[in-house]
């Protein structure tokens, strides 16, 4: 059971990292080996590509969340936080220049 779960996870990650061309190539090969009709083969390839894109998007979201969490743990500000500080600093500088004038 654990081995099957591992293989499933590895396959999911593999699909997520696959290029469109490689996914199409693999899909066509599997469809040919399974002796699917042309329309069934196209449907299989389309579904594989759709799932690959969904998995890639999900994978990117999870990785992004993990990176953001790791940065927070080591107290490194995000780009959004740095941009906010930069904006506040510019406003303070502008106010200081107006007071001098």
- DSSP for 16-80, written as a single string: HH--HHHHHHHHHHHHHHTT--HHHHHHHHHHHHHHHHHHHHHHHHHHHHHHHHHHHHTTPPPHH
pLDDT in tens, 57-74: 888 888 888 888 887 888
pLDDT in tens, 1-14: 456 555 665 566 66
Q: What is the three-class DSSP state of 7?
A: helix
Instruction: Return mean pLDDT, the chain.
Output: 79
pLDDT in tens, 79-97: 899 999 999 999 999 999 9
């Amino acid at each position: 059971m654990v081995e099957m779960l591992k293989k499933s996870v590895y396959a999911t990650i593999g699909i997520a990292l696959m290029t469109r061309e490689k996914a199409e190539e693999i899909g066509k090969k599997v469809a040919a080996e399974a002796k699917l009709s042309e329309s069934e083969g196209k449907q299989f390839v389309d579904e594989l590509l759709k799932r690959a894109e969904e998995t890639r998007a999900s994978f990117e979201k999870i990785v992004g969340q993990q990176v953001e969490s790791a940065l927070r743990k080591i107290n490194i500000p995000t780009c959004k936080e740095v941009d906010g500080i930069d904006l506040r600093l510019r406003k303070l500088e502008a106010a200081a220049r107006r007071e001098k004038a």
